[in-house]
Amino acid sequence: MTTHAPQAAQSVTQSVTLPTSLDEAVEALAAMPAAVPVAGGTDLMASVNAGLLRPAGLVGLGKINEIRGWQYQDGHALLGAGLTHARMGRPDFAALIPALAAAARAAGPPQIRNAGTLGGNIATAAPTGDALPVLAALEAVLIIAGPDGARREIPVSHLLAGREMLRAGELIGYVRVPLLHAPQVFLKATGRTGPGRAIASVGLVLDPARRGVRIAVGAVAPMPLRPLEAEQWVASLIDWDAERRLAPEALEAFGEYVAAACVPDQGDPVPAGVLQLRRTVAVLARRALGRALTS
């Protein structure tokens, strides 16, 4: 279905296409290579309003029902890219993937959460994207839709690190995440009261089947950072067959280990801002693990 943009917007955007399936959306992009996809529009319209982007056309993803929910697949959940933050924040979703639900509840004010989507958060790939450290800790995989019904998979960490890119005309269709049936935590520091962008955030998941602790730190670098040595060290301290408890000193040391790995020294003496950020990351990591182990 193609509609024409209102008169006032025509100098910027020539046409808006509203496909009802993922493949139709890919076709629309192929037919109009200068058009850009738009889901909730919360990031895209900010760029248009700031004069940073003048798309020749828009392919709206809001009418594609197949990507607005989720389904189960071999111990995983296949999340549609069109899931809004508001939908992911609801209790039924939180019971499945608690850390992603917590990140969704923290993503901006209500009007942003009602419109903004998982796929938009990933494609924008802002350092402050709240879903991103959680997806990195979950080792999520993106299902990409391309021309002629093609599907390919990219680990989310590859996309965020720039190791693999979306090709022209491709769309993020789904995000596959493992259902771990174990505690998970998302924590975010904003430096202010109420909704705000993260100064630092952490997504932490326990993976009892692999006897693993996985944590990713967001907002301190262009992409979420995984402190792999700290993860392995702390996982080796946990008695996975008994009560999963750690002494306060071990939690403290984990926080410091994560912070040192993710916020490196920058100069001598280390600038006060760097020390403060490291302190914040250490506290978030310690609290996240403490909460996961006592949930």
Ligand X SMILES: Cc1cc2nc3c(=O)[nH]c(=O)nc-3n(C[C@H](O)[C@H](O)[C@H](O)COP(=O)(O)OP(=O)(O)OC[C@H]3O[C@@H](n4cnc5c(N)ncnc54)[C@H](O)[C@@H]3O)c2cc1C
Quick check: 172 binds ligand X (CB under 6 A)?
A: yes
Quick check: 97 binds ligand X (CB under 6 A)?
A: no
Quick check: 197 binds ligand X (CB under 6 A)?
A: yes
Quick check: 42 binds ligand X (CB under 6 A)?
A: yes
Asked if residue 87 lies in contact with residue 62, where contact means CB atoms within 8 angstroms, the answer is no
CA–CA dist 106, 86 (Å, integer): 10
| Least distance (Å) between residue 246 CB and ligand X | 30
Nearer to ligand X, 59 or 259 (CB): 59
Stretch that binds ligand X, among 43-51, 151-159, 227-235, 245-253 (CB under 6 A): 43-51
CA–CA dist 174, 80 (Å, integer): 5
Stretch that binds ligand X, among 34-42, 92-100, 178-186, 251-259 (CB under 6 A): 34-42
Nearer to ligand X, 218 or 227 (CB): 218
Stretch that binds ligand X, among 36-44, 157-165, 253-261, 272-280 (CB under 6 A): 36-44
Return the bridge partners of 73, or none.
Answer: 76
Nearer to ligand X, 115 or 204 (CB): 115
* The pairing of beta strand 141-145 with beta strand 57-60: unpaired
Strands in 212-218's sheet, in edge-to-edge order, are 184-189, 200-207, 212-218
CA–CA dist 93, 160 (Å, integer): 24
For residue 214, give the H/E element and its range: strand 212-218
Quick check: 116 binds ligand X (CB under 6 A)?
A: yes
Which residue minimizes CB distance to ligand X? 120
Quick check: 160 binds ligand X (CB under 6 A)?
A: no
Q: Nearest Cα to 223, choosing from 133, 284, 95? A: 133
Q: Report the residue from 28, 29, 38, 135 that binds ligand X according to the rule CB under 6 A.
A: 38
* In the chain, alpha helices (H): 22-31, 44-49, 85-88, 91-96, 98-105, 110-115, 118-124, 131-138, 156-160, 228-237, 248-262, 272-294
Question: Where along the sequence are the contacts to ligand X (CB under 6 A)?
Answer: 36-44, 46, 61, 81, 107-108, 112, 115-117, 119-121, 123-124, 128-130, 171-172, 195, 197
